[in-house]
Amino acid sequence: MTTRRNTLLAAAGLAGLAAGPARAQAFPERPVRLVVGYPPGGNVDFTARLLQPAMSQALGQPVVVENRAGAGGIVGTDAVAKARPDGYTMLITGTAPVSIFPVAMERLPYDPLRDFAPIGMAYRVPIVLLVAKDITSRTLAEFVTRAKATPGGFSAGTAGTGSGAHLAIELFNAGTGAGLVHVPYRGTGPALNDLIAGNIPVMFDQLSSALQLHADGRARIIGIASAERSPLLPQVETLREAGMVEAELSTTLGLLAPAGTPAAVVEKLRAALAAALADATVAQRLGSLGAVIPPAANITPAYYGQVIRDELDIYRRAVRLGNVKLE
């Protein structure tokens, strides 16, 4: 009886192993959820809905955008971390939930490296240094020289404490000795309004938010935190040219699945993301906002996973420099 029981258990185990690849091959057989950890209307939600039609077509099943807002993206991120790893739940996320909060908060209900399977990076939007229109400095070198000559004399606004822009200030100060004083606002809008009004001389923000201000002369972009100069602003120097060590500081958007999602399923999701990013309309809309889509060869789980690890290292250093603690 024992021998017969062991034989039956072994057969059942083999059947289960065989069923796994079969399920992966059939995937997807129903709609796939794309969770956004923010309310409708923001850049992450915008991107999800921009990618949705092309991804649905590539997968042969509807991709349903679901907003699970709360705690700066933590609620939605945690929900996906705890979802079944079957490919039917994905997360689209920006930088903060997976690269900043893990190094700036003492407690987080998930681990970005342990609890997720990367699918692929969608794009980066570089952080830029904006100055008010009455600031006479035309180059980064001029600006840094002037800032160093008046220690603490330049305040720099951001969307808030612990934001990517705030951490960019800490890294910029460390690399250049500029001594900018961080002024946190409750969101990008109020900070931009004060910059335009001349109430603050400097602001760090995403390129997508700053482009129109630069174009119409209400403020000027004099530095960009990208590895290379932006084709949208070829005359604007990179922050690395001013002395920063880090080549790229950006809002990075990508797709993640729960850890344990079968590799074959992840590959189907990755291929759908790559197809969506190759769509001419999608690429044009993102490019007009200053988003940098990676080459097709870099839209992979391995590449996005390395991006997250690199960002964790960079922002860990920035958090220590600024003694940043988020709750």
pLDDT at 8 over 70: no
* Token digits of residue 88: 């039917």
Domain co-membership, 216 together with 202: yes
Spatial separation of the C-alpha atoms in residues 62 and 243, rounded to whole Å: 47
| Mean pLDDT for the stretch of residues 177-200 | 95
Show which of 242, 270, 286 is a domain's final residue.
Answer: 242
CATH number at residue 237: 3.40.190.10
Lowest-confidence pick of 104-118, 197-211, 236-250: 236-250
User: Does position 6 have pLDDT exceeding 80, yes or no?
Assistant: no
pLDDT of 248? 87
pLDDT of residue 20: 54
Q: What pLDDT is attached to residue 96?
A: 96
Residue 326 has which token pair? 């988020």
- In whole angstroms, give the CA distance from residue 272 to residue 246: 31
pLDDT at position 18 over 60: no
Last residue of a domain, one of 214, 242, 270: 242
Measured in degrees and rounded to the nearest 5, phi and psi for residue 323 equal: 50, 50
Q: Are both 177 and 234 inside the same structural domain? A: yes
pLDDT over 50 at 177, yes or no: yes
In this structure, are 211 and 258 located in the same domain? no
Residue 147, pLDDT score:
95
- Co-location of 102 and 160 in the same domain: no
Is 178 within the bounds of a domain? yes
What's the mean pLDDT in 189-203?
A: 95
> In which domain, by residue range, is 179 found?
126-242
* 120 and 142 fall within a common domain: no
Same domain, yes or no, for 255 and 298? yes
- Mean pLDDT throughout 127-142? 94
Question: Domain with 313 in it: what CATH number?
Answer: 3.40.190.150
Lowest mean pLDDT among 14-23, 62-71, 270-279: 14-23
Task: Give the span between the Cα atoms of 155 and 200, in whole angstroms.
Answer: 6
Is the pLDDT at 13 greater than 60? The verdict is no
Q: Is 60 exceeded by the pLDDT of residue 80?
A: yes
Output the pLDDT for position 245: 74
Residue where a domain terminates, one of 242, 277, 298: 242
Residue 21 lies in a domain: no
Q: For the whole model, what pTM was predicted? A: 0.90
Same domain, residue pair 112 and 259? yes
Residue 7: which pLDDT band, with cuts at 50, 70 and 90?
A: low
**Distance (Å, rounded) from C-alpha 298 to C-alpha 320?**
30
Residue 22 placed within a domain: no
Residues 237, 303: one domain? Answer: no
Provide the CB-side half-sphere exposure for 264 (13 A, CA). 9
Query: How far is residue 294's CA from residue 54's CA, in Å, rounded to a whole number?
Result: 17
Asked if residue 185 is part of any domain, the answer here is yes
Q: What is the mean pLDDT of residues 28-53?
A: 97
Question: How far is 143 from 240, CA to CA, in rounded Å?
Answer: 14
Q: What is the model's pLDDT at position 1? A: 47
Of 20-24, 57-61, 123-127, 233-237, where does mean pLDDT reach its minimum? 20-24
52 and 81 assigned to the same domain: yes
Question: Is there a domain that residue 5 lies in?
Answer: no
Q: Is the pLDDT of residue 163 over 60?
A: yes
Shared domain for 73 and 134, answered yes or no, is no
For residue 27, being part of any structural domain is answered with no
The pairs formed by 37-42 with CB atoms below 8 angstroms and a separation of 24 or more are: 37/68, 37/69, 37/70, 37/72, 37/73, 37/74, 37/75, 37/76, 37/77, 37/91, 37/93, 37/97, 38/67, 38/69, 38/73, 38/76, 39/67, 39/69, 40/67
What DSSP element (H or E) covers 48? helix 43-59
Give the mean pLDDT of 158-172: 94
Q: Are residues 210 and 273 in the same domain?
A: no
The answer to whether residue 133 sits within a structural domain is yes
Per-residue pLDDT, 244: 81
| Mean local confidence (pLDDT), 55-68 | 98
Q: Are residues 140 and 231 in the same domain?
A: yes
For 29-33, the CB contacts below 8 A with 24+ separation are 29/61, 30/61, 30/88, 31/61, 31/62, 31/63, 31/64, 31/88, 32/59, 32/61, 32/62, 32/63, 32/64, 32/87, 32/88, 32/89, 32/90, 32/269, 33/63, 33/64, 33/66, 33/88, 33/89, 33/90
Query: What's the domain count of the chain?
Result: 2
Inform me whether the pLDDT recorded for 4 exceeds 80: no
Q: Is 137 helix (H, G, I), strand (E, B) or coil?
A: coil
pLDDT digits (tens, 9 = 90+) for 273-290: 999 999 999 999 999 989
Residue 168 within any structural domain of the chain: yes
Write out pLDDT tens, residues 84-133: 999 999 999 999 999 999 999 999 999 999 999 999 999 999 999 999 99
- Mean pLDDT (the chain, rounded): 92
